[in-house]
Structure 1
Amino acid sequence: MCGRLSQYRGIHDFVAALNIPNALINYAGERPFEFYNAAPPAQLALFHQEGQFLRADMVRWGWRPTWAMDRAASIKARVDRIAHNPFFRAIWPHRAIIAIDNWFEWVDEGGPKKQPYLIRRKDRAPILCTAIGQYPHAEHQPDAHDGFVFISADSKGGMVAIHDWQPVTLSPELAREWLNPATPEKRAEQIMLLHWEPTEAFEWFKVDRPVGDIRNQQSSVINPISDPFV
């Protein structure tokens, strides 16, 4: 998974995709986000469950523990290592969902520059990605050390022509179980290791190279310049 994505819909579109009936505690705003070309350390809308409520906050993409401030912040963590990695020990219990519209990858196709691809769901629904982090909640006010990381996994070969790692994405049912504080840690680990969505749920296509400039936040960066690959 590369460090670039889109999160352009509004918070209620993502809540509808999660299909959680309980009230929303919304600190992310009501307007569409319109992040077409987001990169770390962008502030993105992150969901977690607080008691019986779903809560949304704007949280920095990227995190590191306070004892590792001399190291670069991580933006993702490998699914096969995260539960037992000392670097992420403090945030492993703090499960979250980052809902996105698509992500980007760059592929070396032999030209002078790598070719960017956009990856999205075939049904165009929001992509519900597993994450862990340090974020605001009832007992923790916003902090300069807040941040989150995606959980990423081997793409099982189906998307290997684009990239060999992808975010661990879940169905709405499993995303709700992942978010639920009552879900035991062992079950959460099982969900992220075994039950993520298959490559067949996605399609990808070439987009134009201006997406490589993170200053370019125009909606045109998500326009295809090829037919979808599946």
Structure 2
Amino acid sequence: MCGRLSQYRGIHDFVAVLSIPDALINHVGDAPLARYNAAPTTALAVLHQHDQRLYADNLRWGWRPHWARDRAAPINARVEKVAHGAFFRAIWRQRLIVPVDNWFEWVDSPDNSRQPWLIHRADRQAIFCAAIGQFPAPGEASREDDGFVIITADSEGGMLDIHDRRPIVLGADRAREWLDPATPPERAEQLLLFEGEGSGVFQWHKVGKAVGNSRNQGANLIEALE
């Protein structure tokens, strides 16, 4: 996963797919998110649960522990290491969902350029990426080192031709279970390892190279090339 995604529908559209009955505590606003080309270190809309209430907040994409200031903050975490490695130990139990419309990958072309591809669900429904992060509990102030990482796994099927890693995407029922604080850590790890959506759920197409500049935004960035 190369680190670029889109969140352009409104947060209520994402939440409606989850069918969580309690009212949403919404700190990101009601308007469409309109982030067609979101890059690492930017603040993205995330969903997390506290005391059976669902919260939508903006949180920076990227996180590192306080003792790792000598390295760049990673934006992704490999599922093979995230549950038991020391680097993410402090946030392993702080689960969240990053709801997205699609993500982008780049493939080397014969002319030595890099061709961007857009990956989306075949049914065009919301994509729920499993993530962990550091974020304040309700009523607490945010901190400078708050942030999140998206959990990734090996690609499979035809998606291998696009990239060897991809985000772990959970269906709505599994996303609800991931968000629930009552879900034990052992069960959360099982969700990541065995119950993510398969590559057959997704489709992909080439897009224009303008997406390579994160300053570029707009619906034209997600249109398929002829």
Change over 3 Å in CA distance of 1:89–1:140 after alignment to 2: farther
Report the counterpart of residue 116 of structure 2 in structure 1: 116
Report the counterpart of residue 22 of structure 1 in structure 2: 22
Give 1:152 shift: 0.2
- Cα contact 1:5–1:104 (8 A) shared by 2: yes
Within 5 Å, give how 1:35-74 maps onto structure 2: 35-74=35-74
Report the counterpart of residue 201 of structure 2 in structure 1: 201
Helix, strand or coil for the counterpart of 1:200?
Answer: helix
Normalised by the length of structure 1, the TM-score is 0.96
Count of aligned pairs: 226
Quick one: distance in 1 between partners of 2:183 and 2:112?
Answer: 49
Within 5 Å, give how 1:1-230 maps onto structure 2: 1-138=1-138, 140-226=140-226
The letter for the 2-side match of 1:183 is: T
Give 1:104 shift: 0.3
Normalised by the length of structure 2, the TM-score is 0.98
Helix, strand or coil for the counterpart of 1:158?
Answer: helix
Quick one: distance in 2 between partners of 1:20 and 1:158?
Answer: 33
Quick one: distance in 1 between partners of 2:132 and 2:201?
Answer: 23
User: What is the root-mean-square deviation of aligned Cα atoms in Å?
Assistant: 1.0
Gaps of 5+ in 2: none
Give 1:18 shift: 1.5
Helix, strand or coil for the counterpart of 2:87?
Answer: helix
The letter for the 1-side match of 2:10 is: G
Helix, strand or coil for the counterpart of 2:104?
Answer: strand
Q: Which moves more between the two structures, 73-82 or 155-164?
A: 155-164
Quick one: distance in 1 between partners of 2:136 and 2:25?
Answer: 12
Quick one: distance in 2 between partners of 1:166 and 1:224?
Answer: 20
Deviations 1:122-181 (A, max 9, x none): 000010000000012226421111000000000124310000110000110000000000
- Cα contact 1:64–1:74 (8 A) shared by 2: yes
Give 1:98 shift: 0.3
Quick one: distance in 2 between partners of 1:146 and 1:186?
Answer: 25
Helix, strand or coil for the counterpart of 1:159?
Answer: helix
Gaps of 5+ in 1: none
Quick one: distance in 1 between partners of 2:205 and 2:76?
Answer: 23
Q: Percent identity?
A: 56
Deviations 1:54-106 (A, max 9, x none): 00100000000111111100100001110011110000000000000000000
Change over 3 Å in CA distance of 1:139–1:91 after alignment to 2: farther
- Cα contact 1:26–1:56 (8 A) shared by 2: yes
